[in-house]
Structures are given as structure tokens and as C-alpha cells.
């Protein structure tokens, strides 16, 4: 692999980790469109571009999720009763979602990703917070909600926070606990998603060297390694920088990256 690609993965890891720590957002919204563009520039088969980007992003989120979970648990912000109730559905939904994604062409996946990132960006720009109007559902309801969150997460390679935090807030869970619990839920999402994309890509023809299924190891290792160091830096600066303004800027970046991804997939 040429040195410029190694540097690109290192820079991506630094960017992802920093903004994950600063804004508390997962890296999938950044990683998927950037990796799609980088993979295309390296000549990866067009039919596998989005799948490998999704699988690699999911695997990279594992380490970030562990770090985030530990930090929130140390502050007593994780509702483990919610984690236990929602995890079975999250695991089934995410793992099953990878089978759906693997059988869908890159173009429809890119469109779905772009639309979802537009929703996330609008949510960040408007700072939308649902009013608490009900209580958490029973076990069957929690499994169903977890399945839906996991399914969408598998299709866009996110930790589920953009869905689970509004859901828990709607159900009268304090915002601090909703964010901390969402971080904990992100780990089973990342594990199930990474495993699912690994299995579904196993034996696929035309995948690049150093791939295990739909997970591209050089990008995984470099992005994960650097993001682990830059995430604490972003977290420390969160109390010194204008986070509300930065969120709006970040939302604009997500939209631009998604547009670039669509151009990459649909361009000649």
C-alpha cells in the first residue's frame, strides 16, 4: 500500500476521534463517505465500495464504543437495566441488517445513507429534543425498539445514538443517562455489525487484499489506533469550545461528505 493511503487513514482516524470526543457523535457518519471515496480512488470494485466502507466503519467503532462506555459508566450515567432490555433486539436487528445490506447494491445503500445523514444533520442543526411524554415499554417493546435501532445502524454504520437518545428522552430518561446508556448500547451494535459484515463478505470475489469479509484491515487498524488518542483530546476541549456552533458546522460537513459519497458511487 502506498504511503499516501496510510496517511489518509491516519488523518481520518484523528478527525473521527476528535469529533467523537468533542461532540459525542459516532464516527460512522464521517467514516463511511470518506472510506467510500478513498476505496474508490484505490480502485476497489465499485460493487463492493459501500459494503466494505460500512463493514470497516462498524469494526472501527468497536474500540470507540468501549472507551465511551467506560467513561460514561465511571460517571454513573449508564442505565444498565435499559441496556439489558434492549440489547437482545439490538443484536438481532444489527446482525440481520448486515445480511440485508450485503444483498443490496451500493447505489441504494448510498442513497439510504445520504437520506439518513440528512436527517441526523437536521436534528443537530435544529437541536431537536423530543418531549418526555411516556414511560419505557415492557420487555417485548424494548426488544422491538432495539431491533429497529439495530437494523438502521447496520445500514448506515452508526452506534445508534441518533435514534436511541431521542427514544429514551421521549420515555422520560434523563438526558445524561440517555447519552451514557446510548454509548453502552453502541458496543453490541458495533460487535454485531462487524461480525455480520465479516461473515457476509466472506468468500466474495474481487475484494481487496488484506480484507476479512467486508472489513478492510489496514483502514481498521490505522483509524482505530489514532482515534483512540484523539477522542480524549476532543473530550477535554468540549468545555472550552462553542460546541453548539460546532455541531451545526459538523452537520454541514456530514451533508457535504454524504453528497461526495453519492457522487463517488454514481459518478462515471
215 by DSSP, 3-state: which?
Answer: strand
Q: Which domain holds residue 52?
A: 3-266
pLDDT 10s digits, 24-83: 666 778 889 999 999 999 989 888 899 999 999 999 988 878 877 887 788 788 899 999
Region 176-205 average pLDDT: 90
User: pTM score, two decimals?
Assistant: 0.88
What is the distance between the alpha carbons of residues 2 and 76, in angstroms, rounded to a whole number? 45
Which of these, 17, 44, 22, lies nearest to 264 by C-alpha position? 44
Overall number of domains in the chain: 1
Q: What pLDDT is recorded for position 230?
A: 84
Which of these, 139, 144, 153, lies nearest to 189 by C-alpha position? 153
DSSP 8-state secondary structure symbol assigned to residue 208:
P
What is the distance between the alpha carbons of residues 47 and 262, in angstroms, rounded to a whole number? 14
Region 214-229 average pLDDT: 91
Least confident of 30-44, 96-110, 167-181, 210-224: 167-181
How high does pLDDT run on average in the chain? 87
Amino acid at each position: 500500500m502506498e504511503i499516501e493511503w496510510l496517511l489518509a487513514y491516519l488523518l481520518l482516524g484523528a478527525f473521527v476521534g476528535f469529533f467523537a470526543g468533542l461532540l459525542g457523535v459516532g464516527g460512522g457518519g464521517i467514516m463511511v463517505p470518506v472510506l467510500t471515496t478513498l476505496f474508490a480512488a484505490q480502485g476497489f470494485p465499485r460493487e463492493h465500495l459501500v459494503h466494505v466502507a460500512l463493514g470497516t466503519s462498524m469494526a472501527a467503532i468497536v474500540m470507540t464504543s468501549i472507551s465511551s462506555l467506560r467513561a460514561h459508566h465511571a460517571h454513573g450515567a449508564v442505565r444498565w437495566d435499559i441496556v439489558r432490555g434492549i440489547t437482545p433486539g439490538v443484536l438481532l436487528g444489527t446482525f440481520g441488517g448486515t445480511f440485508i445490506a450485503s444483498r443490496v447494491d451500493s447505489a441504494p445503500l448510498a442513497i439510504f445513507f445520504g437520506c439518513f445523514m440528512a436527517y441526523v444533520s437536521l436534528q443537530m442543526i435544529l437541536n431537536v429534543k423530543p418531549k418526555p411524554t411516556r414511560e419505557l415499554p415492557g420487555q417485548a417493546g424494548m426488544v422491538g425498539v432495539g431491533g429497529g435501532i439495530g437494523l438502521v445502524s447496520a445500514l448506515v454504520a452508526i452506534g445508534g445514538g441518533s435514534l436511541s437518545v431521542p427514544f429514551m428522552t421521549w420515555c422520560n430518561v434523563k438526558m445524561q443517562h440517555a447519552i451514557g446508556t446510548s454509548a453502552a448500547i453502541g458496543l453490541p451494535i458495533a460487535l454485531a455489525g462487524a461480525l455480520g459484515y465479516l461473515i457476509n463478505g466472506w468468500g466474495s470475489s474481487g475484494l481487496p487484499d488484506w480484507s476479512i469479509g467486508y472489513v478492510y484491515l489496514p483502514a481498521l487498524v490505522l483509524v482505530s489506533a489514532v482515534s483512540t488518542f484523539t477522542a480524549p483530546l476532543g473530550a477535554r476541549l468540549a468545555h472550552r469550545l462553542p460546541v453548539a456552533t460546532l455541531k451545526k458546522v459538523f452537520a454541514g460537513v456530514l451533508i457535504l461528505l454524504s453528497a461526495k459519497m453519492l457522487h463517488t458511487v454514481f459518478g462515471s
